[in-house]
Every structure is written in C-alpha cells, then in structure tokens.
Structure 1
Amino acid sequence: MIGIGRRGLLAGTTGLLAAPGILHAQPAGGVKIGLVAVQTGPQAALGNQLKDGFALGLRHLDGRLGGLSAETIVIDDELRPEVAVTKVRAALERDRVDFIVGVVFSHILGAIMRPVTEANTFLISTNAGPSTFAGRGCNPFFFTTSYNNDQVHAVMGQVSQDNGYRRVFLMTPNYQAGRDAMAGFKSKFRGEVVDEVYVPLTQLDFSAELAKIAAARPDAIFTFMPGGLGVNLVRQYRQAGLANIPFLSTFTVDEATLPAQGAAAEGFFSAASWAPNMDNAQNQRFVRDFEAQYNYVPATYAAQAYDGAMLLDSAIRRVGGNLRDKDALRAAIRAADFRSVRGNFRFGANHYPVQDFWLLRVARRADGKFQTETVRKVFENDVDPWAAECRMR
C-alpha cells in the first residue's frame, strides 16, 4: 500500500487530496468531492491507482474544477459495504460534498447508490459498472466513466469465438461483478463452457481450481480476478505449468497487478477500453506525467478517474459553476465535453459510456517495466447490452 503521507493526504480514513491551488479549507464558491477509493488490504493498490489518477486530473486543471477551487476528501471504503455507507453518509451530511466519485468494487457501489442518489447528489463511478444500474435500475443521478461490466468480458467471449476455441474454462469471484463477467463472456461465446467456478473474493490459494483446469484440458481459460486474487492466480498458473493453455482475462493482468506478477504475466491477454500505449495526445500526456509523478505505470483505474476529473471540469464549466441547478448540471455531465484518454467516448441513454474495446497483451517495456498493449480493436462505439431497458430519457 502506498503511504498516505507521501500523497499529501491528512492522516485518518479521510483526508484532503492535495494539488496546486487546492486549499485546506473549503473556499466560498468552491466544489467539494468525496472520493471513494479502497485504501485497506491488498486491494488498496487499485484504490491508489484511482486516487492518483483523479489527483493528476486536478493537477492538470491547476486544482480547479470548472473554474472553482476544488477540495477532495478521500473515503476508504475498506472493501466493506457497511463501512462505505457510514463514511459516505458522513461525507454527504457532515462534509456536504457536492459529488461522490470513485468506487473500485461493484458491491461497494451497490451499497452507496441509494444514500447518494436519494440525497440528489451526483455519483460518478470511475470504475465499478454493474449491470444492475445500466438497465431498469438506471438513475438520473448516476454516471460512470468506465463501462458496463458485461462489455469488457464480452470482448473475451468474442476473441474466443474469433480464435476458434471450442472449450473454455470460466472462473471469477462470487459477487456481482464476477457474475457479470460470466454473463458478458457467454453473451458472445458459442462453444462449450467446460466449467463455471466461483471463488470467494478473499481467495488467494487456487491449487484446487488449477487442478480442475489441468484435468479438463480446455482450449483456453477465461478469468476475472482483480487485485490480490489476480496476482496469486497468475503466479500459481505459471508455476503449475499451465501457460500452454491460453490465459484470457479481464482486470487480472493490468498495471495495478503487473508489478507483483512480473514475468509470470508476460504474454497473457486482457481486454479494456484503454491501454497505456494508446496513441493520442491526451493519453500520452496523462501517462508521461503520471509515471513522472507517481513512479509507476497507470492502469484503467487511474485513466478512468483522470477522465472523471476532466468530465466534472467540463460539466461545472458548462453550467458556469452553478451546482444548484441539478437538471442543467445533469445535462452538462451527459454532454461529456472533454477529451478522453481513450479516444472515442460519449454517454448512452443510461449514462454508461459508448466507446471502443480492445484486446490487450502483457508486454515488457524497454525500461523493464510491464504494461498491457493494444493488439486489435474488438468492438467499436459499443453500446452496453442493458441500455435499451433504461427508461430514463
């Protein structure tokens, strides 16, 4: 876990996210953000990516959002829904934040959705994108700068089809995002699912599951194992001598886990709407400055949080800093008038992005660090599968 002191944060479970131009006391006419980013346990690596990505966005904006001085209160959800709800309520009622932003895990988002939106406060998820809020559960106070969970996993289902794999072994954690991963993959794959294995979100020993894979001898495996789960699975997969079976994954081999996985992940595949090597000016600046500031390679958690800061800046600027007119502010957020690090980006009717998705492969850079790199575009301007069920117009 990256030390909070080095990041300019106040000690404790919440603190100010410091950047040039941000004051430690909320100035009149400013904007206050509650940033939900897990800072406890092995999944803190993902929360730190999210936190640092948002901080870089503010730094590039001179510490202001839409011309208003910005203050960010970091909320450690501790990967516990009841803790997240308590802390978010305090941010809304005591700290009077104007927006809740962030959230790595879908079950945390599910817990805080109601208290935030019922307070008529906009919730901008910069990572979690469960299907539950994309269709009939869509909400006028909810937007995400990431994706619908199903979409990313569907990329690997399509890749399996394109590669002619007939038998695939599936394994994910047993929570909403894991179930979405299974559904997303199967929405495109027409071959045989050898087995569907769900593991606890806290699992770190995969010996039993790896024995099943070895016995089944599938054409490929598909897995979604975020954070510490992915670190252990990749190491154990390589140690078990299974690397001859293609390793297709989502949020398992990425820039948040690669420093710990190292060469064990080289050549493994992933899918995303963004990669560090994307060739556009906004992304090149983001990656260059992120690595210079934090000394590690950004992942999607950071990129999507950076876009979240740019989205808020564009929306607040569009309404002239008037945060009280919720209808105008909603329209301004929906307009998404900013340059995304991923290139194509716009919101669909359900406030989930319409964007491109890519097949990625882990590569070792010339400096010895590992990153994911684009192989080919799989979906273009993709609309998530639940958007048609959203009645919000």
Structure 2
Amino acid sequence: MTRISLSHPAIAAAFLAATLATPAGAQGGPATPTTIGFITTLSTPAGYIGEDIRDGFQLALKDGTLGGVPVKLEIEDDSLKPANAKQAADRMVQSGIKLFTGVNFSNVLAAVVPGVLEAGGFYVSLNPGPSVFAGEKCNRNYFVASYQNDAFHEAAGLSANRLGYQRVVLLAPAYQAGRDALEGFKRTFKGEIIGEIYTKLDQTDFSVELARVRSLQPHAIYQFHPGGAGINFAKQYANSGLSKSVPMLIPSFSMDARMIGATGEAADGIYASAVWTTELDNPASKAFVEAFRKAYSRTPTMYAQQAYDTANLIGSALKAVNGDIGKQAEFRDALRRAQFTAVRGKFSLGPNQHPIQDYYLTKFAKNASGEIVQTIIRKVAEDYGDAYAARCKID
C-alpha cells in the first residue's frame, strides 16, 4: 500500500491547518485533532475518482476543522485491492482510529467495514452503498451518505419507463455493485429485459459485448461501468455506430465531468439517473461548484460532491459531541439527525441509515457555450429510500 503525499497546494494547506491547529482545549474543544482513516483509490485508471473524493472532502475542511472540530486525515491508497484496504484499515484500527471513510468501490468496502465495526469504530460511506450492508446486516455504526447501490439504478428503471423504452439490454461488471445495479434497474423497469451481460471489472475491450447488443436489437441499453471502463465503453459504443440507433441510459457515475473530457462527443445525448449535477439550481450547489473550481481548477464530479456532503455530515456530528466520538450514542444520534446543508438538496437518513433523497432523469448535452454538461430533465423519484430498509433492525 502507498502512503499518500498531500502535494496539491490547496490540500497541503488544509492538511497543515488540521495538524498544526491551535488545540481547541483552551476554548473548551478537544485537545487533539480527531483522526479520520481515509482509505481510497488514488492509483490505477480509477485513481481520478479517489482524487475527486479526497479533494471534495478536503474542500469541506475549514481551517483544518469539520464542525469547528480540528480534524486530521490519515490517507491511504488501496490501489483498488480489497486486501490492501483491509491491511490499511487494520493498521489504523490498531493505532486507535475510530472513524473511517473514503472507499469508493463496493468490493473494497466489503473488506474494510467488518473489521472497523468489530473494533467498535464508525464507518461513513461517501460512495458505495452495497445491498449486503443495507438490510439484515445493517449496523448502528455504519452510515451511507451517498446512496444505496440499488436505489440509483431503480431511479434509472423509472427513467427508462419515462423515456418509453420497451426492450432493453443490461450491462455491468461482475462484482457486488454491478449485480446491485442490474437488480435495481429490473426492480422498477416495466419493459422487457432481452439481455443481461456481465463484464470484467477491469475490462478495456467491449467488442464482443457490443456485437451481442447489435444482434439483440434493443430499444436501448442500460450500462453501469465507472471510471476507466466507462470511458472505454462509451467511446467504443460511439465508434461502433450503435449510439445512432440504440440510445444509452446510465447512472451518473458511468459518465462524470472528467470522463466527458476523455470521451468528447461520445457523451453527447446519453441519458442518466442522478441525485446531483453541476447544473442543479440551488445556492449550496452553486457555491460548492464555484469553490471546487477555484481550489482545483477543474469541474467537480458527483464523487467530489458526495465527499463534500459526507464531510459536512461528519462535521455536524463531531460538533454535537465536541469531537469526542467516544460518546458513541451521542455521535450516532447526531449522524442520524443529519443536520447540515446538503449540496444535492433534500437529504435525510432512513431506518437503515442510508439516504432518503430525490432522483432525476438527466441528459448529457451541449450548453450555450458548446460544452457538454449534465442537464436535468425532470425529477423521477422524490424522498426515495431503498428496497432494503424494512429488513434492517438497528437497536
């Protein structure tokens, strides 16, 4: 595993402020910073996702604090390997860290969460929300601030219904989030699934899968491939000519702001389910987008937005306990209350401590300046939870 150097000026300044902040004990606050174990993917082709997650989280730190509480991040690169992530988490647990976040893939999360919870720690997920932890295996110290995996794809199924698709082919990588994706879509889609194709998580060539799509002649496809795989899929789909006759519907994380730069015109016209885009019209979102662009000279992805919201959720709970997460019941209750202003708009936590929020049908299209942006077409689900909440019994 690799220890990360915080070399970006904005990140380094925030980190330095966190570690050198004047102890708040003199003002009635915690004497030492609260350390958060931050394990994420910063290498491999998916590393840009971890970068946006890290940068979005760091942006929420104000003078090295969250909720007025001094915070120190201990950052590790998991290299998209569950074993690396587990080793990092175990080491952090042994060093006394009790609060964790950062993981951006469901298979990695599955390796980290059990050990953290068994040690009496807290995990607050800022991206994956696998079904395995949303129902019977929910835990009072496990929170998800992004979405439950299936719910995002259930919203895509509702979007497909709105778009009038009748015959659809589904594609996703064969791992937990991929299976959740297709199950979620099938749960709400009213048409016919004429093909269900699983790919490899690190796949780069989709020629065989595209040939099969062509032979099935669907009205549309729904595909979930994040990061580098999503870039390759979109480019190959456009180059195959299929995009001219078979529209593509995706979850937002299969075409984010940074992927647009890599795919170019291939992104134009793709539909997506979303809880947030840079075009969302509310003050918190506009301020976040402006601040992120100013700090990092690029447009934030939904990963950055989720990390920023997660940081502020954690900050609201740290404030409530004055940084003392040893007050577990009070810290837990403060997380459940979610008393912060979410960039995405309405936000609350359901009985399984996963989000209840609005979902939108969006389209990637050129704006007045000729830039491809993710425009919002309509809301498809309001105050929407997930299919597993009823199975969760938290004492």
Q: TM-score range by the shorter chain?
A: over 0.9
Equivalent runs, 1:320-335 vs 2, <5 Å: 320-335=322-337
The alpha-carbon deviation at position 254 of structure 1 amounts to 1.5
- 1:365-391 CA deviation, whole Å, 9 max, x = no partner? 455543322111100000111000001
Q: Which protein is richer in helix relative to its size?
A: 2
1:159 aligned onto 2:162: no
Match of 1:13 in 2: none
Q: Tell me which amino acid in the other structure corresponds to 2:42.
A: Q
The alpha-carbon deviation at position 21 of structure 1 amounts to 2.5
Q: Is the partner of 2:19 in helix, strand or coil?
A: coil
Q: Tell me which amino acid in the other structure corresponds to 2:75.
A: V
Q: Tell me which amino acid in the other structure corresponds to 1:89.
A: D
- 1:305-328 CA deviation, whole Å, 9 max, x = no partner? 001111111111112332211011
The alpha-carbon deviation at position 293 of structure 1 amounts to 1.1
Match of 1:39 in 2: 42
- In structure 2, which of residues 383, 386, 391 is the aligned counterpart of residue 384 of structure 1? 386
Which is worse superposed, 376-385 or 18-27?
Answer: 18-27
* Equivalent-residue separation in structure 1 for 2:295 and 2:14 (angstroms): 13
The alpha-carbon deviation at position 204 of structure 1 amounts to 0.5
* Equivalent-residue separation in structure 1 for 2:367 and 2:40 (angstroms): 28
Q: Tell me which amino acid in the other structure corresponds to 2:32.
A: G
| Long gaps (5+) in structure 2 | 24-30
Residues 295 and 170 (structure 1 numbering): CA distance in 2 closer, same or farther, change over 3 Å? same
Match of 2:295 in 1: 293
* Equivalent-residue separation in structure 2 for 1:26 and 1:138 (angstroms): 38
Match of 1:22 in 2: 18
Q: Tell me which amino acid in the other structure corresponds to 1:332.
A: A
Q: Is the partner of 1:284 in helix, strand or coil?
A: helix
* Equivalent-residue separation in structure 2 for 1:280 and 1:5 (angstroms): 31
Which is worse superposed, 321-330 or 357-366?
Answer: 357-366
Tell me if the contact between 2:10 and 2:295 (Cα under 8 Å) persists in the aligned partners: no
Which is worse superposed, 167-176 or 28-37?
Answer: 28-37
- Number of residues paired by the alignment? 383
CA RMSD of aligned residues (A): 1.9
- In structure 2, which of residues 338, 359, 362 is the aligned counterpart of residue 336 of structure 1? 338
- 1:13-36 CA deviation, whole Å, 9 max, x = no partner? xxx783463225996332111112
The alpha-carbon deviation at position 50 of structure 1 amounts to 0.5
Which is worse superposed, 203-212 or 366-375?
Answer: 366-375
Residues 26 and 115 (structure 1 numbering): CA distance in 2 closer, same or farther, change over 3 Å? farther
- 1:67-104 CA deviation, whole Å, 9 max, x = no partner? 2211111111111111100011112212x324101211
The alpha-carbon deviation at position 145 of structure 1 amounts to 0.7
Q: Tell me which amino acid in the other structure corresponds to 1:22.
A: A
Residues 38 and 169 (structure 1 numbering): CA distance in 2 closer, same or farther, change over 3 Å? same
Which is worse superposed, 312-321 or 77-86?
Answer: 312-321
Match of 1:265 in 2: 267
Equivalent runs, 1:1-393 vs 2, <5 Å: 6-8=7-9, 18-19=14-15, 21-23=17-19, 28-58=31-61, 61-94=62-95, 96-243=96-243, 244-250=245-251, 251-366=253-368, 369-393=371-395
Tell me if the contact between 2:129 and 2:148 (Cα under 8 Å) persists in the aligned partners: yes
* Equivalent-residue separation in structure 2 for 1:20 and 1:110 (angstroms): 31
The alpha-carbon deviation at position 338 of structure 1 amounts to 0.1
- 1:45-65 CA deviation, whole Å, 9 max, x = no partner? 11111111001111xx22212
- 1:345-372 CA deviation, whole Å, 9 max, x = no partner? 0000101010001111113345554332
Tell me if the contact between 2:21 and 2:64 (Cα under 8 Å) persists in the aligned partners: no
* Equivalent-residue separation in structure 2 for 1:118 and 1:138 (angstroms): 13
* Equivalent-residue separation in structure 2 for 1:310 and 1:57 (angstroms): 7
Q: Is the partner of 1:82 in helix, strand or coil?
A: helix
The alpha-carbon deviation at position 262 of structure 1 amounts to 1.6
Residues 5 and 115 (structure 1 numbering): CA distance in 2 closer, same or farther, change over 3 Å? closer
* Equivalent-residue separation in structure 2 for 1:269 and 1:162 (angstroms): 11
- 1:108-159 CA deviation, whole Å, 9 max, x = no partner? 1111111111111110100010011111010111001100111111112112
* Equivalent-residue separation in structure 1 for 2:143 and 2:122 (angstroms): 8
The alpha-carbon deviation at position 66 of structure 1 amounts to 2.7
Q: Is the partner of 2:309 in helix, strand or coil?
A: helix
Tell me if the contact between 1:24 and 1:71 (Cα under 8 Å) persists in the aligned partners: no
Q: Tell me which amino acid in the other structure corresponds to 1:173.
A: P
Q: Is the partner of 2:292 in helix, strand or coil?
A: helix
